[in-house]
Amino acid sequence: MTKSQRQVLRTTCATHGLIHVHELAVPPLLILIQAEFATGDYAMGRIVTLYGLLFGLGSLPAGWLVDRLGSRLLLVVCLWGSSLSLVGMALAPELTTFAVAAAAMGLCLSIYHPAGTALLSHAIPVSGRVFAYHGMAGNLGVAGASLVAGALGWAFGWRWALALLALPGILLGLRVMRLTDAPVHEIREREGTGRWPDFVLLLVAIAFMGMVYRGMTTFLPKFMTTIYAGQTDFGVALGGGLATAALLVGLLGMYTSGRIADSGVHASWTFLVGALFQAPFLIAVGWTSGNFALPLIMGVSFFHFFTQPAGNQLVAGFTPPRMRGLGYGIYFFLSFGVGAVGATIGGWVSEELGLARAFPALAVLLVPSVLVTLALVARNRARPGPESPQPVEL
């Protein structure tokens, strides 16, 4: 790997981690925000759905722009726009203003996945482990958001917590500006055709998987707080820390998945394993006692994030180079945009049946994901793993 390629990998990994910290800064602070604005789970679930929907919806135009403008400019807009939106949320005088700023943050964050993942696939010889490292960095952000935001909320209050999280985004944007981007004209001239029926099956699978992700990450910190801590400022920090511990297990899932993909197993098989085996853990969470909640959530985390390197590798194998940004844009629109409905579903089930029952409800959403992934495995059982795209000189 060249010096420029190492810079691309380090920068995309750092950015991937940070955008997930921004994305998930609200759930660990949920109890504090609800107390100030006097609102319930369903209303906050709708706000999370709104910015989650825009997190996905913006991926479509972002992916289209990546194929025409390159990634660097769009990544700077992503980081600085998200940081300013966090400041807007911190200054919000009432819930409507908070929701508008949250929506703006979701739209800015939507740029990252098509821009960053396309840059990675074009600039570096892609393997399961490359996507695993990139995914692990994102998972550190997903997991760390609960601990960092929860601890900042405990120490300084939720408003200062959001404002302080904006600072690293400004600094990382300056680093991205120094990055060498892959030449767009060379990418667009490369040959390659897509495997569109397989891509469509993957899109259906990831849409339902995204609902599980959004529902789980929205209410997991609160669930950990209510099970193990209690609704106090310190309880928020402790609940966030326990949620972090559970989500960090996803790092092992990603690394294992990447190694399996590089051993020659088709990525659709690893995607299927992750989709299938997280379901029983989600179901068990709904009827467990406090002693077993944490290890069960760890099982969910391992198998949920087990699917991510495989999914990213499949997109690279199913889309031609000239449309790679748009391909990732559609993929992440369905994962984060359509998947945002999971927060509303989880919030409704929580208010009607109790917070613990939201997790078995999410398991039901995995059924169509498993079924279409079975079809994808059947279509690719006689094929090798997705072809690794060759890098463009930086």
Q: What is the pLDDT of residues 33-90, one digit of tens each?
A: 888 888 887 888 788 778 877 888 888 899 899 888 878 889 999 999 999 999 999 9
Position 129 pLDDT exceeds 70: yes
Residue 139 lies inside a defined structural domain of this protein = yes
Structural domain harbouring 264: 3-380
Q: What is the share, in percent, of the chain residues with pLDDT greater than 70?
A: 90
Q: What is the pLDDT of residues 137-163, one digit of tens each?
A: 988 887 788 788 888 988 899 999 999
Residue 389 lies inside a defined structural domain of this protein = no
Closest C-alpha to 46, from 344, 342, 334: 344
The two three-digit tokens of residue 123, written as one number: 């600039």
Helix or strand (DSSP H, E) at 319: none
Residue 198 lies inside a defined structural domain of this protein = yes
pLDDT for position 192: 60
Instruction: Look up tokens 């490369």; give the residue.
Output: 190
pLDDT for position 187: 59
Q: Which CATH number characterizes residue 48's domain?
A: 1.20.1250.20
Residue 391 lies inside a defined structural domain of this protein = no
Q: What is the pLDDT of residues 255-281, one digit of tens each?
A: 999 888 888 888 899 999 999 999 999
Tally of domains within the chain: 1
Position 367 pLDDT exceeds 60: yes
Instruction: Look up tokens 């667009």; give the residue.
Output: 188
List Cα–Cα distances, 371 to 28, 159, 303, 322, 378, in angstroms.
Answer: 33, 43, 17, 30, 11
pLDDT for position 3: 78
pLDDT for position 186: 55
pLDDT for position 182: 57
Output the pTM of the full model: 0.77
Position 347 pLDDT exceeds 60: yes
Q: What is the pLDDT of residues 279-293, one digit of tens each?
A: 999 999 988 766 788
User: Do 310 and 267 contact (CB within 8 A), yes or no?
Assistant: yes
Residue 186 lies inside a defined structural domain of this protein = yes
